[in-house]
Amino acid sequence: MEIKDALKEINKFSRRELKEDEVYIFDLVLCDNDIDRDMERFSDNALKQLRQLFIGKTGIFDHDPKSSGQTARIFTTELITDENRKTKYGESYTYLKACAYMVKTAANEDLIREIDGGIKKEVSISCSAGRQLCSVCGTDRRLKACPHIKGKSYKGKEAYIILDDIMDAYEWSFVAVPAQINAGVTKRFGGQDEDERIKSLEAAHRQDEELIGELCAALREDVVRLCFLESGGCRSKAMAAAADKMDVRELISFKEELKKECRTKAVSQLSEDTASDSFESFRV
């Protein structure tokens, strides 16, 4: 964008017409469509919504909503797609680029130097996502839980959250530690309460998996013991190997079948012993 076009957009936000020597203009990447360190990503629809919502939004520091921290403002945005670069899930890489300006003052001379020197570089956006979809099953995690834990794979499909239906964009901030790997952007959604709720759900899923693992171990021990009682050591070793590949339902069903076999064998043995005792008595 040429400086005259940039000034035209900037002056839509100023009370008087600013000149070229009065403003400092810089570019920044707000976010992208790749999976970040929080195992979340924006949908293409979300990026389009954010492109419109971030025009005119103020830049602050560390998401501290004090007016004294306002330092810059976005005056234009654009979506850029790199067809030669792919995301972790195989789609073309797209990112949201913004142009921001600040009025040159004695107070922000050091900040401008830090931006030019690459010290102040990472930024974070603050917005609200109306839907948070599981990449495996499509469940909206804002409405109900699903059993898929972020970062784990299910039948070769990695679980992460797709952020969609952006309700509002609040601000963008200079920060120290970015979450998004490719764009160098950190973000927050819905506040701390929502983050804590998601963490609690994930902890519950992990606990359920641990309980299921303990139940499977106990069932496998029962299966091996019943196999030994029913037919001796040779079959128990073979059944132990087979049981290692069974899930909870299969183990429960197999255990019940073995219990039936053991009961049948016990009744049969009792009948044989009774018949033998009667024969011995008759002989006496």
Assess if residue 152 is contained within a domain: no
Q: Which helix (H) or strand (E) holds 93?
A: strand 92-103
Cβ atoms of residues 82 and 92 within 8 Å? yes
What would the mean pLDDT of 130-144 be, rounded to a whole number? 94
Residue at 146 is within a domain: no
181 and 230 housed in the same domain = no
Residue 154 domain-assigned (yes or no): no
Same domain, 169 and 46: yes
- Is 205 inside a domain boundary? no
Domain membership of residue 219 as a residue range:
210-283
Same domain? For 183 and 277 the reply is no
Residue 137: which residues within 8 A CB-CB, separation 6 or more?
146, 148
Do 271 and 178 have their domain in common?
no
With 0-12 CB in 10 A as exposed, 13-18 as middle and 19+ as buried, what is 96? buried
pLDDT at 252: 81
Are 108 and 221 within one domain?
no
The answer on 76 and 8 residing in a single domain is: yes
Question: Both 274 and 220 in a single domain?
Answer: yes
Q: Give a yes or no: residue 142 inside a domain.
A: no
**Does residue 147 lie in a domain region?**
no
Res. 132 pLDDT band, cuts 50 70 90: very high
121 & 242 share domain: no
Instruction: Give 17-42 as a 3 state SS string.
Output: CCCHHHEEEEEEEEEECCCCCCCEEE
Tens-digit pLDDT profile for residues 65-103 = 888 889 999 999 999 999 999 999 999 999 999 999 999
Lowest mean pLDDT among 2-6, 240-244, 250-254: 240-244
Q: pLDDT (tens digit, 9 = 90+) per residue, 193-215?
A: 444 544 565 566 566 677 777 77
pTM of the model: 0.63
The reply to whether 21 falls in a domain is: yes
Q: What is the number of structural domains in the chain? A: 2
Could you tell me if 106 and 227 lie in one domain? no
In this structure, the answer to whether residues 45 and 94 fall within a common structural domain is: yes
According to the model, what pLDDT value does residue 215 have?
77
Q: Is residue 66 part of a domain?
A: yes
178 & 216 share domain: no
Asked if residue 126 and residue 13 are part of one domain, the reply reads yes
